[in-house]
Structure 1
Amino acid sequence: MELRHRALEALCLADPEHKARQTLHMHAQQDFSIDPDVELAPAPGTVLPGHPERPELRVHTEMARRSPATPLGRAVLMHAIAHIEYNAINLALDAIWRFPGMPEDFYRDWLRVAAEEAKHFNLLRAHLQSHGHDYGDFPAHQGQWTMCEKTKDDIVARMALVPRTMEARGLDATPQIQAKLRQVGTDDALAAVAILDVILREEVGHVAIGNHWYRWLCARDGLDPESHFVELMHRYAAPRLRPPFNTAARRAAGFSENELRWLEQT
C-alpha cells in the first residue's frame, strides 16, 4: 500500500497501542510505495488525530505540577512525557500524509521519526505500567498539536515551528529533568533517566531532520532560513524560547552558530 495513505490511516487510529504498533510495522516492513503527488484528505467528519477517551485533555494552564520527589509526582511527570511522545507520533504521521510534492526521502525520514517516537511511547508506557499506572491515568494537554493545526497549510512553517521549535525544546528540558530524577535517586527515578537518555539521543536526530528539510524548503523558495524563522515565530505566535539551552544537542541537530547566538540574546 502507498505510504502516505497508510500514514493517514494510522493517524486516525484512536487506540495508542494500535497506533504505535502500526507505525512500527510500517517502518519495519518497508512494504510500501510512495506517491508524492497524490492529494489526500481524511474522510468527512474525521477528527485528527485519532485520540483515546483517556487521558482527559486540558489547556496547559490547567495542568497541576507535582514534585518528582514523590512516587506520584514521578508518575505524573513520566505520563506527561509519554503524552508528548504520543503526540510526536501523530506529528510525524501528519507530515507524511499532509504535504504533497516533496522528495521521497522526506516521507521516509518522517516515517523513521514516527517509528522512533512510537518506540519512546512504548518505553514510557511500560515504565508507567511497571509502577502501577498507565497512559491515560492523568490529564494531558495538546500544545504540540495546536501548532500542528496552525501550520497545516504551510510546510515551511511546519518544519520551522514543530521539529525546530516545539521538539527542540525537549533537547533543552530533558537534561534538567534527568538532573532532578538523579537527585531523587530511587530505582524508578534512575530507570526513568535511562529511558530519557534513549529519547534525548534520538530526538537530536529528529530535530536534525526538521532542520534539514526546513533549510531545503528555504533554498527551494529563495528564503533566508534565519530571518524567515524569526518572521514565522511572530506570524504563528510560537511559544517563547527560554533558557537554559542545550547548545551541544542543538549544535548536533544542525542549528547554526548564528542561531545559537540569537537564542541566547533573546
Structure 2
Amino acid sequence: MAEDIAPRSVGEACRDVLLSADPFAKLMRARAVARDWRLGLLAHRFDAEMPLRPARPAAPELLPPSQMPKRGKMGSERSRIAMLHALAHIEFVAIDLAFDLVGRFGRDFPPEFVGDWLKVGAEEAMHFALLDRRLKQMGSHYGALPAHDGLWEAAEETAHDALARLAIVPMVLEARALDITPTTIERFTQAGDGVSARALTRIMADEIRHVSAGTKWFNRATKRLGVDAPEYYQMLVNRHFRGAIKPPFNDSARRQAGLTRDYYIPIAY
C-alpha cells in the first residue's frame, strides 16, 4: 500500500508566490493558493522561510519615491497611464504583502486568519490584472514606466512583528488609499475615462474589506494581549511609520472597515 502523502503546507505555497517574478505567474499562483486553501488542499503548516525580498521582474525600474517623474494633470492620456501604472504597481506589491503576512506570521494565528489574507492576496491579484488590462487597452503595459519601492520598505520594517505589520500595511497604507481613491475616481471621470473610473470603484470596494481584515485581526490580537487597541496602534505607527498621518480622511470608508477616528486622529497632523 502506498504511503499517504502529506498535503503541501500553506507556508511553502506562500513562499512560491513571493518567489514568482513574472507578473502573470505571480497572479496565477496567488489565485491558485487561495483556491487550494479554500478546497482544503493545503495544510495549516509553516515550514518554509519567507524571503527578505520577493522576486521582481526586470521591469519596471524601481526608483526612490523622490526620483519618480511627475505625472502631470489627469486630463492627458499620458498622465492617466502614469497613474494607472503606479496603481498597478501598488497592487502587484500588495499580492506579496498579503502572502508574506500569511507565510511569515500565520503560525501565530488560527486558520481563519490564513483564509482571510489569502482571499485578500487573490483579490490584489485580480486588481493588478484589471489595471494591467486597462493599461494594455490604452497602448501601454505594466513595466513600461518606472515605479517606486516604498511599499516593500514597510514590509521590511515590520518583518518581525505581526501587529506592526497589521498596523502599518492595512491600517495605514491601505487606509490611505481609501482617503485618496474617491478623488482619483472623480478625476478619471472628469477626463472622460469612465472605464478606468469603474475599475477603481470596484477595487475600492475590496480595499475597504482589506482594511477591515487588518483591523479585525489587530483588535483580536490586542485583546489577547490585554492592551488598548487604539493606543497600541498609535505606538506602533509612531515607531515604525516614517510618513505622516494627515487629513483629509475618508472617515466613512474607514468606519466601514472598523478603523474609527480614535485610532488615527490622536496622531494625525
Q: TM-score range by the shorter chain?
A: over 0.9
* Structure 2 residue aligned with 1:41: 49
Instruction: Decide which of 236, 242, 257 is 1:253's aligned counterpart.
Output: 257
Q: In the alignment, residue 103 of structure 2 is paired with which amino acid? A: W
Structure 1 segment 1-266 matched on structure 2, within 5 A? 1-29=8-36, 30-31=38-39, 32-36=41-45, 38-42=46-50, 48-66=53-71, 67-99=73-105, 100-185=107-192, 189-259=193-263, 261-262=265-266, 266=269
> Does the 8 Å contact 2:218/2:229 carry over to 1?
yes
Runs of 4+ in 1 over 6 A off after TM superposition: none
Q: Once the 2 structures are TM-superposed, how far is the Cα of residue 74 of structure 1 from its aligned partner?
A: 0.5
Q: In the alignment, residue 254 of structure 1 is paired with which amino acid? A: G
Q: In the alignment, residue 90 of structure 2 is paired with which amino acid? A: I
1:42-76: CA deviation from partner (whole Å, max 9, x where unpaired): 4xxx6621110000000111112222111111100
Moved more, 223-232 or 15-24: 223-232
**TM-score, normalised by the number of residues in structure 2:** 0.91
Moved more, 61-70 or 134-143: 61-70
Q: Once the 2 structures are TM-superposed, how far is the Cα of residue 144 of structure 1 from its aligned partner?
A: 1.1
Could you tell me the percent identity over the aligned residues?
34
Q: Once the 2 structures are TM-superposed, how far is the Cα of residue 222 of structure 1 from its aligned partner?
A: 1.9
Moved more, 58-67 or 69-78: 58-67
Q: Once the 2 structures are TM-superposed, how far is the Cα of residue 39 of structure 1 from its aligned partner?
A: 4.3
**Residue-pair matches, total:** 258
Distance (whole Å) between structure 1 residues aligned to residue 144 and residue 265 of structure 2 = 41
Q: Once the 2 structures are TM-superposed, how far is the Cα of residue 260 of structure 1 from its aligned partner?
A: 5.7
Point out where structure 2 has 5 or more consecutive residues left out of the alignment.
1-7
Point out where structure 1 has 5 or more consecutive residues left out of the alignment.
none
> Does the 8 Å contact 2:127/2:203 carry over to 1?
yes
